Chains A and B, each alone.
Chain A
Amino acid sequence: MSKNMKTFEEVNYIVKSAPGFNKKLIEEISLSKREPDWMKELRLKSLEFFLKRPNPNFGVDISKLDINEIIPYLKPNAKKSASWDEVPEEIKDTFEKLGIPEAEKKVLAGVGAQYDSEVVYQNIKRQLSKLGVIFLDMETAVREYPEIVKKYFMHAVPPNDHKFAALHGAVWSGGSFVYVPENVEVPMPLQAYFMMASPGMGQFEHTLIIVDRGAKLHFIEGCSAPKYSVSNLHSGMVEIYVEEGATMRYSTIQNWSKNTYNLNTKRAIVGKDATMVWVSGSIGSAKTMLYPASILKGKGARAEHMNITYAGSGQHLDTGSKVIHLAPYTSSKVDARSISSDGGWAFYRGLLKVSKLAHHVKSSIECSALMMDNRSASDTVPIIEVMNNEADIGHEARIGRIKEEQIYYLMSRGLSEDDAKALIVRGFMAPIVKQLPLEYAIEFNRLVSMNFKSNLG
């Protein structure tokens, strides 16, 4: 763990000698997007923070991350996508095995024109506008709904929150904006996928969701098929505001190609008697730092975090959750599971804070890790800070290996060793995977089977 516990030093590798990453570039970005001044100011302020702030002193090794490599993709009208020939064989192979349609493959690989979702989307759009729901790409929202966006944009996560929040604030582009009016229940899950306006996008997407009083929404981000991008840094942000009595469910599958640094920030502010549910699956990227946060601000607010992380060969996935109880009678439940195999490293990092004023809080945290072999690693660092005496906190952590006896038992019923392993892993993940939308759950299971060369469908 020593690797991971660096002392506070002012390391700033990412911007060393990057003269091109400056005010002029940021202004160009803002201009090309025809943004109002306040947004340009926000970008410039963020840039300042970014240049000043040290790298995080925990998590994954980002010493090889170089901002110079992403500059070309930030410039307006830059060539954002690769050609199909440049897409690594491994990715093409996976698409093949998953049976992804041709057109979709190209979008996922960041090379094609948009997957033809227009027809579906138009239909949904009509239904939504009848309900008064606003669902737009983020850039359009900045122009068309400035008063709402300005009120909420980077308020849950301010630009000076941490270095990558600042980077995001400076260069964000794309993403979704959703506003659900009071007491409206959105009848179908909304998918971020519809908002992928151009190929190569989604590196720094910003998602802003406001679920007004008593409303209900399920939002799905990402895609279980691997997503390839020429630029190797993904630093998105999700801000969610769940108002009084509202319910929000946010499901993600992260499957970036294995060359990617995935440094994300997701945060929800949860009002009185409101409910926030995070369901996250992480399988892709080289290195990930992702800790969805719920800030329970209103009395009786609830949060549930369900997290599954699968770290394979060459991956270091540092995931977890943060729950901050600010108000009385708030409750939270965290179920985090990870699998590490083939030398992968899965790190669970959790924070639970109960403030002085938050009496009668209930919280249960459960994290379990399964290691498939001796080359793989797993760590669990749950931090719990309770500032009053009237809190009911439960915590359980388990790290284990797959048992030879389990494999033998399944093999004695005819299953091959690979199928037996895949089945045990699927069983371990099942309580979380079951929470994902069905087609994602199926694909998640299929990916596990593929990793074990198993034939289980």
Chain B
Amino acid sequence: MALLKISNLHAKVNDKEVIKGLNIEINYGEVHTVMGPNGAGKTTLANLIMGNPKYEITAGEILFDGKNIIGMPVNERAQLGIFQSFQYPEEIPGVTVRNFLKLAYDTIHPNEKMSIFDFGDMLIKMSDQLKIDRSFLDRYINVGFSGGERKKSEILQLNILKPKLAVLDETDSGLDIDALKVVAEGINNVIGPDIGILLITHYQRILDYVKPHFVHVFIDGKIVKTGGPEVAKELEIEGYESFVV
């Protein structure tokens, strides 16, 4: 059974149709890249999978582990194992990354009952591994974070929360080469048989570091071409224009 199966999805934002008949299927262990120009609806796709109430689905199906999740609240989807990383994650003043992640972890993995000390150890280990300064853990969520720090924080969360499906929205945008490598390493770190990854990006750049199994070209609310990594190369040379029908 597919981890995620989206069939004939149509969706509106502010009464404007943005997703126009989208199909995609992701299995455990696979890395998929969705590439598309600005305004194609890439971020909308991420929000639809996570369940952002701002978007209205007008037709189609989203099956997660075989179960239709349309209409399911955002937090329940997170508890099922869906994770969205954000291009511009929100600031939450007064709440430390550490406390927030412990709460989130306990909600998503209710049976583990990890002690606060073991959890702290895990956080430190992961920060070190991802070359994220430990002081990060005791700062307020995204408050005063640089663009790169925000992205690293999202990737740290991905590594800690261990979702089944990671939808990574423009995780590579606005990063210098060193930060890009850290983020890519953080993604590679979670790739494995228990997770499916949907990497949404505008640029081919990150694919030098993260190797997808499938590349989808996404234009005007639809996937217009699917193939292997060679599709990304093709895009780099020809641009999105060649795919516009």
Chain A residues in the interface with B (C-beta under 8 A):
403-406, 408-417, 419-420, 423-424, 426-431, 456
Contacts and interface: CB of A to CB of B under 8 A. Distances in A.
Contacts of A429: 94
Contacts of B89: 409
A338 to B, nearest CB: 14
Nearest to B93: A427
Contacts of B74: 408, 411-412
Interface string B148-191: 00000000010001000000000000000000000000000000
Nearest to A430: B94
A419 B103 CA distance: 10
Interface stretch (B17-25, B78-86, B221-229): B78-86
Given A413-B100, A415-B104, A415-B107, A428 B94 contact: yes
A336 to B, nearest CB: 15
A71 B49 CA distance: 65
B104 A413 contact: yes
Given A406-B90, A415-B75, A423 B100 contact: yes
Interface residues of B, number: 27
Contact of A416 (B53, B75, B84, B157): B75
Nearest to B78: A414
Interface in B74-131: 74-75, 78-79, 83-84, 86, 89-95, 100, 103-104, 107-108
A423 B78 contact: no
Given A424-B92, A426-B95, A430-B94, A417 B75 contact: yes
B141 to A, nearest CB: 8
Nearest to B82: A412
Contact of B75 (A403, A411, A430, A431): A411
A412 B86 CA distance: 10
A409 B104 contact: no
A172 to B, nearest CB: 38
22 contacts: A404-B54, A408-B53, A408-B90, A409-B90, A412-B50, A412-B74, A412-B78, A413-B78, A413-B100, A414-B78, A414-B79, A415-B75, A415-B107, A419-B107, A420-B75, A426-B95, A427-B92, A427-B93, A427-B94, A429-B94, A430-B95, A431-B94
B103 A456 contact: yes
Contact of B108 (A406, A414, A424, A427): A414
Contacts of A404: 54
A406 B104 contact: no
A413 B86 contact: no
A74 to B, nearest CB: 43
Nearest to B140: A427
A452 to B, nearest CB: 14
B143 to A, nearest CB: 9
A427 B104 contact: no
B38 interface: no
Nearest to A420: B75
Nearest to B47: A408
B239 interface: no
Contacts of A428: 93-94
A406 B78 CA distance: 15
Contacts of A431: 94
A415 B140 contact: no
A420 B92 CA distance: 10
B8 interface: no
B39 interface: no
Contacts of B66: none
Given A415-B107, A419-B103, A456-B103, A409 B92 contact: yes
A413 B94 contact: no
Contacts of B90: 403, 405-406, 408-409
B52 interface: yes
Contacts of A424: 92, 95
Contacts of B84: 412
